[in-house]
Amino acid sequence: MCSVRHLVHSRWLIQLSKSRRVNTSLCWHGIQSRLFSTTKTCMTIMPAWVIDKYGSNDVLRFTKNASFPIINYPNEVIIKVCAAGLNPLDVSMRGGYGAATMSMKRDPLNIKQAGSEFPLILGRDVSGVIMECGLDVKYFRERDEVWAAIPPWKQGSLAEFVVLSANEVSHKPKSLSHTEAAAIPYVATTAWSALVNTGGLSKDNCAKKRILILGGSGGVGTFAIQMLKAWGAHVTVTCSQNAEQFVKELGADHVVDYTAGPVEEPLSALEKFDLILDNIGGDTERWALSLLKPWSGAKYVTLITSFLQNTDRLGIADGMMQTAATMATKALKHLVKGVHYRWGFFAPSGPALDEVREMVDAGQIRAVVEETFSFSQVPQALNKVEMGHARGKTVVQISGAGHD
């Protein structure tokens, strides 16, 4: 028998936030009562923004007939989306970035036809309410308020509902509204993956370590500043002069303006670093690793890698071989100089968000929401993200539902 629930749903409104920079967000907020059930037989469609092919913003299409997500595995949950975040990754995915790798992840046996990912729903951040739990889900209950970063091979959060594995989900910080919460998960799990999983940092070993963040005024950079300062690190940041006061307010100890001239010159005059997080890429690898403390376990972690470009251009097998060769060559080149070269990747993680939630509720990390858009304004929201991406910003998120 279908379980039937009443849900307050869906008023679209524009709400412009006065807070500065980095994250933009999008959501729904309820006035209209709607009867629905979370089983496939009782509800089969939902409203969503989709793309039917890769391209520019023109490929975005609103539909009321998107397929309703269903629980296929006992560890999954269905979430009613209250706020959804967009990132530069969504703009890239809209254009086909990473399509080969994502297709392999969705269909590892290559059974489905080409283009089976369409209609594709974008959106890597979600804050919402759990509506149904799989049989093996013990940590969550229906009506729990949660947040999550959505893996890029799964359908995104620009829809009324989304289905995720329970290990990708975490309880939302009590101190944040859904709009504020939607600004954090993607950048938080990306920074966590780079600094903790790859860089080996933790709250227990970070005190007094010297960390350099190249490109510190974007989403990943601003989150990393706050997390590292909460753990007691000394943080140096590169950014433009316009962002200098902003990153200092977040806790940066030293700021270098990259618009004032070659940034490597003032950085070279400073004491060497224990870890460098690179959000910029390009020719930074040419000089950045010389800023690390040699023969002390110091690491350079870059989030700008060629992995997905290689697989898109060469195919999965050849692309992975090219990636492995590139990574091995660079790692060995710098290892003989006494420093470690690493690639960092976005890695969705509920346990990581559990740790982040505690820091948020303790007041150590704050959400930065630049502007909010209604659900009907998703094209404008993606345009906002794209403009920021073109200028080299790391994240301009789109959040939504007003305050709870």
Question: What's domain 45-183+368-397's superfamily in CATH?
Answer: Medium-chain alcohol dehydrogenases, catalytic domain (3.90.180.10)
Percent of the chain exceeding pLDDT 70 equals 85
pLDDT tens per residue, range 320-352: 899 899 989 998 989 989 999 999 999 999 999
CATH 3.40.50.720 fits 188-343, yes or no: yes
- Non-local (6+) Cβ contacts of 95 within 8 A are 54, 55, 56
The amino acid at residue 121 is I
Report pLDDT for 312: 81
In which residue ranges of the chain is CATH 3.90.180.10 found? 45-183+368-397
pLDDT tens per residue, range 346-373: 999 999 999 999 999 999 999 988 888 8
| Model confidence, pTM | 0.85
Helix (H) or strand (E) holding 85: strand 76-85
pLDDT tens per residue, range 180-230: 999 999 999 999 999 999 999 999 999 989 999 999 988 899 999 999 999
Cα–chain center distance at 19: 20
Pinpoint the alpha helices (H) of 88-239: 88-94, 99-106, 178-181, 185-192, 219-230
Percent of the chain exceeding pLDDT 90 equals 64
Report pLDDT for 38: 43
Reported confidence tier of residue 42, pLDDT bands at 50, 70, 90: low
- Per the CB < 8 A criterion, the answer to whether 28 and 11 are in contact is yes
In which residue ranges of the chain is CATH 3.40.50.720 found? 188-343
